[in-house]
């Protein structure tokens, strides 16, 4: 991609204002027309949101989007919608024992409301605050209980595939463990064993960094720095690592770009979280220096891979090894073409990845690493600038989606292909729309000089760049 080095947040203000206007119209359309009794909205088909029975991992994104809309605009109807839906519909997700998605569903809803309380943005009684606190304590402990030990003596939160399966996605859902730990909670095991949620967060992050991310260090014949495997497979009898795998990408030896973006964003925001912890909290798990080095290595490798393998305007195709990608020629030297005849782009990967680039850039600048920090920061702004305009921003009122050209599951053929096209295009996903709103909220707050947006506190103020 070509990084726009002269781009600043304030250059995007007009686009961000239009974005929130368009976003409001989409939320109202879904509220008015979507039948929630059919299940959570997952992706659009011919412009209308529909569901897909796999797991209900997108419901928190639907209601979390309403809360983000209030956060950005102050329009109270969105707050009340999100509040009511969180109370009435999200409780099963807190105690869902069968998924690794707690940080997606519950931090996006209970966590967002808790954060707004902390920031003084909403009025809430002590009982309401306690309600959010208990929900967040519980969701982190439930997620952390999905634990598979490894031969190294550490372990990981296993995916819904079973105890053998470590998904790269889950590093972004560690937010649930972080908040539960921040609120003073513990996981209790057999015989009242006290299990640290911070410890499990760090161990899972370390396992992901070691087994799902590559560093060009000769691990196998396809060891390219920053390449990301969607799934790492383990022998659950002895905890030994066996092989890479991919559920939604093309192959275990190529990079599914949404998985790449989950890693970019997850590791970068956990680096921010580490900054609010005391050294003695980190000492039992290897110490600050080692933990930060592990996360920085993973974050920078994946962010560099994204920059090197995305199109000129910062948009990636859905997988770097997609079988017909070669027919596009030098796709990194031209803007992405979502309407091409061969392989789809994935705008949701771009929205997630852009936030990772921005957060890593801001983190490094705060550490005094100005040149590298600016590189990532401006790369994130470059991606955001592309996504805030057509053909990615969905401006047609009849289309319920917000961010166009998102892809869900290319191998399974779940994505809608318009009659006049050869590949999926022109459609949206609930996670893509939500993460585009997160990205826009991050930028909107930076542009206005208001409270810096994090999932855990939001108490610092930073100047727009």
Q: What is the mean pLDDT of the chain?
A: 96
pLDDT at 39: 87
- The C-alpha atoms of residue 244 and residue 312 are separated, in whole angstroms, by 29
Instruction: Using pLDDT thresholds of 50, 70 and 90, give the confidence band for residue 113.
Output: very high
Query: Could you tell me if residue 264 is inside a domain?
Result: yes
Are the CB atoms for 245 and 229 separated by under 8 Å?
yes
Indicate whether 34 pLDDT > 60: yes
Region 231-255 average pLDDT? 97
Please list, in sequence order, all residues whose beta carbon lies within 8 angstroms of the beta carbon of residue 210, skipping any fewer than 6 positions away: none
Q: Give a yes or no: residue 123 inside a domain.
A: yes
Largest Cα separation within the chain, whole Å, is 62
Residue 465 lies in a domain: no
pLDDT range class, residue 461, cuts 50, 70, 90: very low
Summarize the confidence of residues 12-36 as an average pLDDT: 96
In the block, residue with structure tokens 């855990």: 456
**Would residue 1 count as lying in a domain?**
no
Among 442, 438, 450, 304, smallest CA distance to 379 is for 304
pLDDT number for residue 460: 42
Which has the closest alpha carbon to 270: 280, 255, 282, 258? Answer: 282
Residue 203 to residues 81, 246, 263, 272, 277: CA-CA distances in angstroms? Answer: 37, 22, 15, 17, 16
Q: With contact defined as beta carbons under 8 Å apart, do 179 and 241 qualify?
A: no
Residue 131 CB burial class (10 angstroms; 0-12, 13-18, ≥19):
middle
Respond yes or no on whether the N-terminal peptide bond of residue 391 is cis (omega within 30° of 0).
yes
In total, the chain counts a number of residues equal to 465
Domain annotation covers residue 324 = yes
pLDDT for res 373: 98
Return d(Cα 464, Cα 435) in angstroms, integer. 20
Residue 219, φ and ψ in degrees, nearest 5: -65, -40
CATH of the domain at 222: 1.50.10.10
Chain segment 406-425, per-residue pLDDT in tens? 999 999 999 999 999 999 99
Look up the domain containing 192 and give its range: 9-448
CA distance 101 to 58: 9
Query: In whole angstroms, how large is the CA radius of gyration of the chain?
Result: 20
Task: Please state the pTM of the whole predicted model.
Answer: 0.97
Question: Mean of the pLDDT values across residues 209-214?
Answer: 98
Per-residue CA distances from 264 to 14, 209, 271, 438 (Å): 27, 11, 11, 15
Q: pLDDT tens digit string along 244-268? A: 999 999 999 999 999 999 999 999 9
In a domain, 408, yes or no: yes
Residue 153's CB is within 10 A of a number of other CB atoms, namely 8
Domain count, the chain: 1
3-state class (DSSP) for residue 119:
coil
Q: Has residue 459 got a pLDDT over 60?
A: no
pLDDT score at 458: 46
Q: Would 464 be classed as within a structural domain? A: no
> Which of the four pLDDT bands, split at 50, 70 and 90, describes residue 36?
confident
Instruction: Examine the pLDDT at 43 and tell me if it is beyond 90.
Output: yes
Residue 431 domain-assigned (yes or no): yes
Task: Locate 414 and state its tokens.
Answer: 């779940």
Examine the pLDDT at 189 and tell me if it is beyond 60: yes
| pLDDT higher than threshold 50 for residue 398 | yes
Q: What percent of the chain has pLDDT over 70?
A: 98
The three-point CA angle 243-167-320 to 5° equals 75
């Amino acid at each position: 991609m070509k990084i726009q080095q002269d781009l600043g947040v304030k250059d995007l203000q007009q686009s961000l204002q239009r974005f929130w206007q368009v976003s409001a119209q989409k939320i109202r359309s879904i509220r008015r027309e979507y039948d929630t009794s059919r299940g959570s909205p997952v992706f659009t088909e011919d412009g209308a949101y529909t569901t897909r029975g796999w797991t209900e991992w997108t419901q928190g994104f639907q209601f979390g989007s309403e809360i983000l809309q209030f956060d950005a605009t102050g329009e109270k109807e969105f707050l009340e919608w999100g509040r009511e839906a969180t109370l009435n519909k999200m409780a099963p997700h807190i105690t869902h024992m069968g998924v690794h998605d707690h940080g997606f569903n519950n931090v996006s809803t209970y966590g967002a409301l808790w954060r707004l309380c902390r920031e003084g943005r909403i009025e809430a009684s002590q009982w309401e605050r306690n309600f959010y606190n208990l929900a967040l304590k519980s969701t982190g402990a439930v997620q952390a209980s999905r634990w598979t030990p490894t031969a190294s003596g550490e372990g990981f939160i296993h995916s819904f595939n079973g105890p053998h399966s470590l998904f790269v996605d889950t590093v972004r859902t560690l937010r649930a463990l972080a908040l539960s730990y921040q609120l003073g909670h513990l996981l209790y095991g057999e015989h009242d064993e006290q299990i640290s949620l911070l410890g499990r967060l760090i161990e899972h992050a370390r396992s992901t960094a070691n087994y799902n991310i590559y560093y060009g260090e000769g691990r196998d014949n396809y060891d390219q720095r920053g390449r990301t495997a969607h799934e790492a497979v383990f022998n659950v009898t002895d905890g030994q690592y066996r092989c890479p795998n991919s559920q939604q990408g093309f192959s275990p030896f190529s990079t599914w770009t949404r998985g790449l973006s989950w890693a970019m964003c997850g590791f970068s925001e956990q680096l921010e979280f580490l900054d609010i912890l005391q050294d003695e909290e980190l000492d039992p798990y290897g110490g600050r220096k080692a933990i930060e080095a592990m996360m920085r290595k993973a974050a920078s490798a994946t962010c560099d891979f994204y920059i090197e393998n995305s199109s000129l305007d910062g948009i990636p195709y859905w997988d770097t090894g997609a079988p017909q990608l070669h027919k596009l020629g030098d796709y990194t030297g031209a803007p992405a073409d979502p309407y091409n005849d061969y392989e789809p782009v994935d705008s949701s990967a771009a929205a997630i990845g852009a936030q990772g680039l921005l957060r890593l850039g801001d983190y490094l600048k705060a550490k005094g690493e100005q040149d590298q920090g600016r590189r990532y920061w401006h790369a994130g702004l470059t991606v955001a600038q592309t996504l805030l305009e057509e053909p990615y921003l969905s401006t047609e009122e009849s289309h319920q989606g917000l961010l166009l050209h998102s892809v869900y599951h290319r191998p399974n053929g779940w994505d809608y292909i318009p009659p006049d096209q050869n590949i999926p295009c022109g459609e949206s996903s609930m996670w893509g729309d939500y993460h585009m709103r997160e990205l826009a909220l991050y930028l909107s707050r930076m542009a206005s000089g208001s409270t810096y947006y994090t999932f855990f506190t939001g108490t610092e103020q930073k100047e727009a760049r």
